[in-house]
Amino acid sequence: MASNGSRPARPLIGLTAYSERAAFGVWDVDTVLLPRSYTDMVAEAGGAPVLLPPRAEAVPAVDRLDAVVLAGGADIAADRYRTLPHPRAGAPRPDRDETELAVLARALARGIPVLGVCRGAQLLNVALGGSLVQHLPESVGHDGHNPRPGVYGTVSVELDPPGRVQLGRSVQAQCHHHQAIDRLADGLTVTGRAADGTIEAVELAERDFVLGVQWHPEQDDLRLFSALVAAARSRQEQR
């Protein structure tokens, strides 16, 4: 598919978005939003970013996409992995949980490349039958993964084996999470851990590109988005 008869169209990369109350200009209203760093990274990597709002009506749009990014955000509801919520768990976002699980299921069914970021990595694990640590500081004894609201922690992640996306043997990752993968879902392989044992990267076996990272590459690392867009372009050429 070409945009002008000679140059291939940019692959369409869907990014799941938040539904939050937001103030801007003279308005204070319910808003569909996403940090701009996600769309900037996708565009810089050569993709065309498309926002997917947390509504069921957005799910069929996956059929038109070449890849999907499951973005970070609020905690996944504990009942999605059959447990009671921890007192420190955030308020659930049932509309977002439902939409993103449906988006992921549709993407997997169609062989569409997927990159899960932070919450997105957790969602991948939950969707496939895994569970989450609901308040990580209680398990690891520190808050280095989430120093305080609005501040990223720098965490060294060892990548062994390196996995499909070549980032070297380690990466200095920007993290902001108080939950993490606990029981690993069937089919997922761990490809990265922090020094405290926290799972920081997973891949779905026997898939060309289904990857979840617990950190936030949209902050400072184009490589994962470049790899995603390359996988999306390959799929685009095969359609």
Q: What is the pLDDT of residues 51-67, one digit of tens each?
A: 999 999 999 999 999 99
Cβ–Cβ under 8 Å, residues 70 and 103? yes
Contact 175, 217 (CB under 8 A): no
Per residue in 149-196, pLDDT (tens digit) is 999 999 999 998 777 778 999 999 999 999 999 999 999 999 999 999
Q: Give pTM, 2 decimals.
A: 0.94
- Domains of the chain, CATH where assigned: 12-238 (3.40.50.880)
Q: Is 118 a catalytic residue?
A: yes
Exactly one of 145, 176, 178, 216 is catalytic; which is it?
Answer: 216
216 is catalytic: yes
pLDDT value of position 5: 52
Q: Which of 100, 200, 203, 218 is catalytic?
A: 218
**What region does 112 belong to: left with phi over 0, alpha with psi -120 to 50, or beta?**
beta
